[in-house]
Amino acid sequence: MLTRLIVLLLALTALLAAGIAALNLRGEAPIAPDARPQDGTPSQIAQGAYLARAGNCAACHTARGGAPYAGGRGIATPFGTVYAGNLTPDAETGLGRWSADQFWRALHHGRSADGRLLYPAFPYPDFTRVTRDDSDALYAFLRSLPAVRQPNRPHALEFPYSTQAALAVWRALFFRPGSFEAEPDRSPAWNRGAYLVRGLGHCAACHGGRNFLGATPEGGLSLSGGVIPMRQWYAPALDAPDQAGVADWPEGEVVALLRDGVAPRGGVLGPMAEVVLGSTQHLREDDLRAIAAFLKALPQRAPSQPDARPADPQVLEAGERLYADQCADCHGAAREGRRSAAGRLLYPALDGNRVVTMEPPANLVRVIVHGGYLPATAGNPRPFGMPPFGLRLDDAQIAALATWLRERNGAGPVSPLQVARLRGAAATD
């Protein structure tokens, strides 16, 4: 009886392993053994350079102070640190021996040239929607870069997340290779915007939220917001009018926000400022308008119910004093903000500001603690910044200030414990 049970368990295990292996190979075409690296045409290289900007590839694949695209930057995750690979055409440590087919497989299927499964910190769940033509253009651009000999750092992941077996199970559960399918009832601009947002732009990697195993919901199509793991910034929902929804914005203001980092209704801070700095400010006007068309058309969900908990009167009194002492000179005694004589936004108004009212209050706390800095762009080359107050104010004071600002706007209080948790996360990777 025991022998029969063991045989049955072994058979089930073998079937499960075979099923997981099959799910990890679905849709993959074999790569010809004689596939060789090849250089692209000038037009492919130019297109690839533009697409690399659109995907903000250098942000992860360039270590601070390192050669562009040579890898080495650590991406902190709840499971350990993943180090970005060398994308330069060095034959020993980069992509120098990769063929275009192998590069396409990495983007589309999340598999390296040597057959290893790639960790989804490299957002192939989004890049799987990139077209083969765009993949080939990216490949051509990367092959045109100066080769940098820089060995890839081994990932520092905890067991069992460090194993290919665990990654194969994750992929079987959460990854489906796919492609972008244009919606015929939508305009060409909307479809182009959807392609950029859902594919190369990998917006869902931050704005989609993640489950406890690090997967984005709805196959990477959700834009319903979520805390960015390990950084503790909240990537607001793009389908919510009380967070980052832009359905009621004029198209030109959405374009200005993505191009200049600032628009009449606000500016970008934190990780999104990095995206504007390295990516969206470099996009063509037609692509920015396409992204705006897509974002404006997102179905908007109902605003969340405000936190109705009353704040402690003593906390509110302390917060009001702190605002008068620390904030009013720039943001105004009535929290009205300040503009230049030409109407340019200098310091944002805080009443009605979504950073102030948003749930969770992570971004408000992060800005007070670490400061707020808009990106320098061609349209806003010398942006005003907000200094950090994390060394000047303790957790209770920051909680009091945030609570007072939020209470003015009908939002709930912030506790010193929340501040302590958010203060500890790094300002950047």
Q: pLDDT class for 23, splitting at 50, 70, 90?
A: low
Secondary structure in 3-state letters for 84-100? CCCCCCCCCCCCCCCCH
Query: Bridge-partner residues for 372, per DSSP?
Result: 386
The token pair at 400 is 């009091």
Lowest-pLDDT range, 166-175, 280-289, 302-311? 302-311
Rounded CA separation 392/414 (Å):
18
Residues forming beta bridges with residue 62, ordered by sequence position: 71
Residue 22, pLDDT above cutoff 80: no
Dihedral, CA of residue 294, residue 295, residue 296 and residue 298, to nearest 10 = 90
302-314 per-position pLDDT tens digit = 888 777 788 899 9
Predicted confidence (pLDDT) at residue 101 exceeds the cutoff of 70? yes
pLDDT for the residue numbered 220: 74
pLDDT (tens digit, 9 = 90+) per residue, 137-163? 999 999 999 999 999 999 999 999 999
Contact 224, 211 (CB under 8 A): no
What is the rounded average pLDDT of the residues 282-287? Answer: 97
> Which pLDDT score, from 0 to 100, does residue 305 have?
78
**CA–CA separation, 140 and 132 (whole Å):** 12
- Does residue 9 carry a pLDDT above 60? no
Tell whether the model's pLDDT for residue 18 goes beyond 90: no
In this predicted structure, the answer to whether residue 12 has a pLDDT above a threshold of 60 is: no
Joined tokens for residue 302: 């109902």
Residue 195 has pLDDT above 90, yes or no: yes
Pick from 192, 200, 180, 217: which is nearest to 124 by CA?
A: 200
The fraction of the chain above a pLDDT of 90, given in percent, is 75
Structure token pair of residue 358: 């948003």
Q: What is the mean pLDDT of residues 65-69?
A: 95
Mean per-residue pLDDT over the chain, rounded: 90
Q: Say yes or no to pLDDT of 117 above 70.
A: yes
The predicted-structure confidence for 406-420, as pLDDT tens digits, reads as follows: 999 989 999 999 999
The pTM for the full model equals 0.91
Q: What is the pLDDT of residue 346?
A: 81
- Judged against a pLDDT cut of 60, whether residue 120 lies above it is answered with yes
- The residue among 91 and 26 whose pLDDT is bigger is 91
The residue type at 194? A
Q: What is the pLDDT of residue 337?
A: 86
Whether the per-residue pLDDT at 176 is higher than 60: the answer is yes
CB of 308 within 8 A of CB of 209?
A: no
Q: What is the pLDDT of residue 306?
A: 74
Encode pLDDT of 216-237 as tens digits: 988 778 999 999 988 889 999 9
Beta carbons within 8 Å of 233's beta carbon, 6+ residues apart:
227, 270, 271, 362, 363, 366
CA atoms in the 13 A half-sphere facing the CB of 207: 22
pLDDT digit string, tens, across residues 346-390 = 888 899 999 999 999 999 999 999 999 999 999 999 888 899 999
Across 280-300, average pLDDT:
97
Residue 264 pLDDT > 90: no
Q: What is the pLDDT of residue 186?
A: 96
Segment 71-84 shows an average pLDDT of 95
User: How do 226-227 and 234-235 pair as beta strands?
Assistant: antiparallel
Mean pLDDT of 304-327: 89
Closest residue by Cα to residue 291 from 326, 341, 256, 329: 256
pLDDT of 15 reads 52
If pLDDT is split at 50, 70 and 90, which confidence band does 19 have?
low
